[in-house]
Structure 1
Amino acid sequence: MLTRKQHELICFIADHLGETGVSPSFEEMKDALDLRSKSGVHRLISALEERGFIRRLPNRARALEVLKMPERAEAAARKTKAPVRAAPPAPPVPANDVIEVPLHGRIAAGMPIEAMEDATMLPVPAALLGSGDHYALEVAGDSMVEAGILNGDYALIRRQEVARDGEIVVALIDDHEATLKYLRHEGAMVRLDPANSSHQPQHYRPDQVRIQGKLAGLLRRY
């Protein structure tokens, strides 16, 4: 059996999801239930989750799914003047949803530097990512500026081990250093091209190069 506040919260979440397709923020839930702090919202959500009424979607901010509604939700909703809606189906990922991807240190857009440092998590708008597994690398250098990739940008990389000529890839050189470049094949060699006329292409034997992903998007902070 749910408490009155738990009833109020699940009705508010279901109504917000039904209208917008997006979970309400903790601030919105706090105000709707007239709570003094967001810690009270956290406790209510944890209680609803433990009882199987809602679940949090992993690696996404503001992502709750209503699994079932309480039996007497209508009565609780009348007390709070909140409309009752049936639990909506899981909505598609909205454009303003956020997914956390691993941030694996820095990668050169000039000469290769060591990449894949200890990972932290970087929040990324879901609209920037497609299907597949992704990670992020901070760009260091200026050799890709003519492709719009600047020093300090975050390159969003889709994990894959193959790529076509002309695609921008993360290439791991001699299993040690990584670089972000256009992939080309030139005879029996692999050529990694910069996007800066003042930089020279890099040539390697095929056994020296492993593709670790393809550029899927960029995130820039101002």
Structure 2
Amino acid sequence: MLTAKQHELIRFIQQRLEETGISPSFEEMKEALDLKSKSGVHRLISALEERGFIRRLPNRARALEVIKVPEDAVTATRSQAAPASITANDAVASASSVMAKAPQPANDVIEIPLHGRIAAGAPIEALEGQSSLPVPAALLGPGEHYALEVSGDSMIEAGIFDGDFALVRRTNTARDGEIVVALVRGEEATLKYLHKEGAMVRLDPANATYDAQVYGPDEVEVQGKLAGLLRRYH
């Protein structure tokens, strides 16, 4: 048996995978489940992983795969006219139908622009020059993308490390709590969680040793949202 929060989390992850092909961040899961800290999300994910409902994909941040869904979650997707009880075979068939809607991974590799380094710490100059980076198409969703090499350790609790390549979907809007490329005062760029505080903009790190950065609404320009990561092993 799963707890109510475990049910809620697996439904949220499955919904995001169906909508975007990308599993939600720990911050997004924390807010969706109204938890006080991301440690609660870690515990829920570990419990679901131990029971065989989800698995973490290696070498990728924010990479979760739903292996199966709880039977009552499958029942909830049926129409109200459906019977209240279902057989085990019905549950398996319905779960397979739900999973079939998730975007299928592609084997293609595409080249996207690589624009220098971006800070995951104090802001630094970004978009220095341009080359290209080969990326598996399965890591990218719809839209235009570019890559930035991460410098610093302020996002390590989100699984983003120095030397990683941030894969960014180009956009000038983002929802509260999403990880964005933020251009600060038209000169410096940084990778942070975006939050609105009234008329102000707060850029939050994912490292307890760093402080949040607060700016006026005209000082921060969103230049993209994190879509995925690539990591090299030497």
Q: Equivalents in 2 of 1:181, 1:141: separation in Å? A: 12
Aligned pair count?
Answer: 131
The C-alpha deviation readout for 1:145-186, integer Å capped at 9, x for no partner, is: 000000000000000000010000000001110000000011
Cα distance 1:148–1:94, how it changes in 2: closer, same or farther (>3 A)?
A: closer
> Following TM superposition, by how much is the alpha carbon of 1:140 offset from its aligned partner in structure 2, in angstroms?
0.2
Q: Give the structure 1 partner of residue 108 of structure 2.
A: 97
- Structure 2: which 5+ runs fail to align? 1-103
> Following TM superposition, by how much is the alpha carbon of 1:187 offset from its aligned partner in structure 2, in angstroms?
1.9
The 5-angstrom pairing of residues 1-222 of structure 1 reads 95-222=106-233
Q: Equivalents in 1 of 2:217, 2:190: separation in Å? A: 15
Q: Give the structure 1 partner of residue 68 of structure 2.
A: none
Question: Given the two structures, how large is their TM-score scaled by the length of structure 1?
Answer: 0.58
Aligned structure 1 segments of 4 or more residues deviating by more than 6 angstroms: none
Instruction: Give 3-state SS (helix, strand or coil) of 2:218's partner.
Output: helix
> Following TM superposition, by how much is the alpha carbon of 1:188 offset from its aligned partner in structure 2, in angstroms?
1.7
Q: Equivalents in 1 of 2:165, 2:123: separation in Å? A: 16
Q: Equivalents in 1 of 2:189, 2:155: separation in Å? A: 14
Root mean square deviation, CA, Å? 1.5
The C-alpha deviation readout for 1:34-88, integer Å capped at 9, x for no partner, is: xxxxxxxxxxxxxxxxxxxxxxxxxxxxxxxxxxxxxxxxxxxxxxxxxxxxxxx
Instruction: Give 1 or 2 for the bigger CA radius of gyration.
Output: 1
Q: Equivalents in 2 of 1:166, 1:156: separation in Å? A: 18
- Structure 1: which 5+ runs fail to align? 1-92
Match for 2:194: what amino acid?
L
Q: Give the structure 2 partner of residue 77 of structure 1.
A: none
**% identical equivalent positions:** 73
Question: Given the two structures, how large is their TM-score scaled by the length of structure 2?
Answer: 0.55
> Following TM superposition, by how much is the alpha carbon of 1:94 offset from its aligned partner in structure 2, in angstroms?
6.8
Q: Equivalents in 2 of 1:132, 1:205: separation in Å? A: 29
